Chain A
Amino acid sequence: MSLTAVLIVVVAAVLIGAFGIRVSRTTSDFYVASRTVSPLWNASAIGGEYLSAASFLGVAGLVLSFGADMLWLPVGWTGGYLVLLVLVSAPLRRSGAYTLPDFAEARLESMTVRRAASVLVVLIGWLYLMPQFQSAGLVLREITGAPRWAGGLLVALVVAVNVLSGGMRSITFVQAFQYWLKLTALAVPLVFLLMAWRAGGAPGLSPQDAATWQVPLAGGKEYALYSTYSLILATFLGTMGLPHVLVRFYTNPDGRAARRTTLVVLSLLGAFYLLPALYGWLGRLYAPDLVRTDAVVLTLPGRMVGGTLGDLLTALVTAGAFAAFLSTSSGLTVSVAGVIAQDLLKGGVRSFRIATLMAVAVPLGLALQARALPVADVVGLAFAVAASSFCPLLVLGIWWRRLSTAGALAGLFVGGGLACAAVLVTIVGGPYEGPANALLAQPAAWTVPIAFVVMVAVSFLTPHRVPPGVARTMVRLHTPEDLNLDRGDWRPRSS
């Protein structure tokens, strides 16, 4: 039954992708379509694209394994939108940028900074895609016993076909529907699980778990305080630098709507993230053998409810998980492929096709090769890279006039470079002994401050490299659209 559910989701995604061709194709279609979309739908679409396998499966798995300290992960993934709201959302929409490289070009008036941003977008996108494919393999193995590579390959193929046929990207309603599907797929089974828990006499945790697992900073991981703070920094500041999130902000008609949409996103994510922690808690009670497997969400309905109802609920959860893989992977692939085609290849349809294959193949290869890390941990690394490269670029670019081209470049290079190096060392080698492991597995606490310091210091040293049009750009970024002001004539290159 679960396999049927997966097939339905996959076929639906392909069909929608195929019919999406005729709906809309270009940036401006995307833009025009947005005029008819309310903030609620827009926010649902952002939520649908944002809630990946890491949220759907990973959080519950990590909570089950490591306890209360992991509750910070969904808190950070939601709180990141609050930081994004106050520092970035309206100015970013007003900049008119369609991608992060667009913003870099608009603000710093430099093609070199644009290219550096493009490379980072690709790296972050790959890092984010890899665990999606890994989790797909896990889920398919769970329901059919297929080898681990099969699920990843299936999702990669569907995504590639989908993106190549031109669908998925612009259909706000499809992405919006994905959010509600994911919410339902977690919430409905949870109701039955809680009913089963009550019917079973509402048991509590074992005394040992109640003393350590349930308590923050009380065991589980080494250097828990450092890791907690580093995780908080990475998630709160990394959200604004995710490539597939930014594109969705473009669908808001103006900066004011962008703020309101972010507010709704925050509510939707808050509602969703109430659920995985409960799964983790119930999992600790009923399935403590699933430590470090990410499988708790899929397994619990079968174990706790059982029978036909259990099968149905498992099918629902599995469908939700596949929806999570497909929506996040499609959004990421489109963003990554767009950037590869436009900034690293020659541009045009042929380049976009090659770029799509590159965007999917590299993370798929990584997913098959790399050691199996928990999905939420790898996604956490992607956040760390985003927080130490794009966060300083966006925050300083929007609020600080004296940011120079050289400063931005140096900050992206040092911050992004250090974070990427830490990630690479963690994924390929590791785990390491002692404090080095914590420092490398959660690099944000040291890479983010370094990136900010480098960007500011180099900007002070190179005042002559401050872009000449900065005053006009500031008008563009910060003034409400209904004022009749000269905002310059920069436009993003159509993609």
Chain B
Amino acid sequence: MSRHPAEGAPHEPPRPQRTPRMSRRAQRPPDEPPRRVAVTSPRTAAARRPRYPATREIDEQTHLGEVYMRSLLRTQFRLAMFVCTVLGCVVCGLPLLFLLIPRLREAELLGVPLPWAVLAGLIYPAFVIGAWLYVRQAERNERHFADLVERP
């Protein structure tokens, strides 16, 4: 295995052990076009696999890691805002309804005045159902995020 004379020059960075094929290519005259090689594996697989797992992107706070984190925060925040908006509409709407539609104040539901049936009864199970739906969706979002960043 012979060495190209230029390789020993001081401006060349030190190279690791080379294969015989590499050294043969180095011996090629500069004007000759590079040798054609057959691609035996599609590049798609290589492109899809990230260099690191996404958890490492997040740990090192790269741009990609930030994108992952922002997407998680945005999903969870949207969910939270959705619940809060529904809650706000119900809770702030009720006094307004009672104010604007006096008939509602005196209506009855199964013999109980409507405001009492709602405020002292029905609203509590409604809270629990809302909370249950929220917990289910929030855990689902977290599972999606975990699948995303832990994908090999």
Contact = CB atoms under 8 A, between A and B. Distances in A.
B72 A266 contact: no
A68 B115 contact: yes
B77 to A, nearest CB: 5
Interface stretch (A14-22, A82-90, A112-120, A288-296): A82-90
Interface in A31-84: 68, 71-72, 74-75, 78-79, 81-83
Interface of chain B, helix or strand or loop or mixed? helix
B84 A87 contact: yes
Contact of B134 (A72, A85, A483): A85
Given A225-B95, A483-B146, A216 B131 contact: no
A480 B121 contact: no
Interface in B108-151: 113, 115-116, 119-121, 123-125, 127-128, 130-132, 134-135, 138-139, 142, 145-146, 149-150
Interface residues of B, number: 45
A488 to B, nearest CB: 11
B69 A86 contact: no
Given A68-B116, A86-B80, A471-B69, A482 B146 contact: yes
A484 to B, nearest CB: 6
Contacts of A79: 87, 91, 123, 127
Nearest to B143: A480
B106 A475 contact: no
Interface string B70-106: 0011001101100110010001100100110000011
B59 interface: yes
Given A399-B77, A475-B58, A486-B59, A75 B134 contact: no
Contacts of A68: 113, 115-116, 119
Nearest to A91: B76
A276 to B, nearest CB: 9
A217 B131 contact: no
A420 B106 CA distance: 38
Contact of B119 (A72, A399, A486): A72
A249 B37 CA distance: 63
Contact of A75 (B84, B98, B123): B123
Interface residue tally on A, bucketed by range: 35 or more
A273 B99 contact: no
A24 interface: no
B145 A479 contact: yes
A236 B87 CA distance: 10
B73 A267 contact: no
A266 B127 contact: yes
Contacts of B120: 71, 74, 274, 277-278
A232 B91 contact: yes
Contacts of B84: 83, 86-87
A259 interface: yes
Contact of A479 (B72, B115, B125): B72
Contacts of B99: 217, 225
Interface string B58-69: 110100001001
A311 to B, nearest CB: 29
B128 A215 contact: no
A263 B132 contact: yes
Most chain B CB within 10 A, of A72, A86, A256, A472, is at A86
A221 to B, nearest CB: 13
Interface string A259-283: 1101100110011011001100100
Nearest to B72: A478
Contacts of A256: 139, 142
Contacts of A474: 69, 73
A86 B78 CA distance: 10
Interface in A439-495: 471-472, 474-475, 478-480, 482-486
Contacts of B135: 85, 259-260, 263
A328 interface: no
Contact of B79 (A86, A277, A483, A484): A86
A274 B145 contact: no
Most chain A CB within 10 A, of B55, B95, B119, B131, is at B131
Contacts of B121: 274
B152 to A, nearest CB: 13
A225 B94 CA distance: 11
Given A68-B116, A79-B91, A274-B121, A263 B98 contact: no
A99 interface: no
A68 B118 CA distance: 11
Interface string B38-68: 0000000000000000010011010000100
A78 B127 contact: yes
Most chain B CB within 10 A, of A216, A399, A486, is at A216
A432 interface: no
A307 to B, nearest CB: 29
Interface of A: 68, 71-72, 74-75, 78-79, 81-83, 85-87, 90, 214-218, 225, 228-229, 232, 236, 256, 259-260, 262-263, 266-267, 270-271, 273-274, 277-278, 281, 399, 471-472, 474-475, 478-480, 482-486
The 5 closest A-B pairs by CB, nearest first: A270-B124, A71-B119, A277-B120, A486-B59, A86-B80
Given A82-B131, A270-B128, 6 more contacts: A81-B131, A266-B128, A471-B66, A478-B76, A479-B58, A483-B149
25 contacts: A71-B115, A71-B120, A74-B120, A75-B124, A81-B131, A82-B87, A82-B134, A215-B113, A216-B98, A216-B119, A217-B95, A217-B99, A232-B91, A236-B87, A256-B142, A260-B135, A263-B135, A270-B125, A274-B124, A277-B119, A281-B116, A475-B58, A478-B72, A479-B145, A480-B145
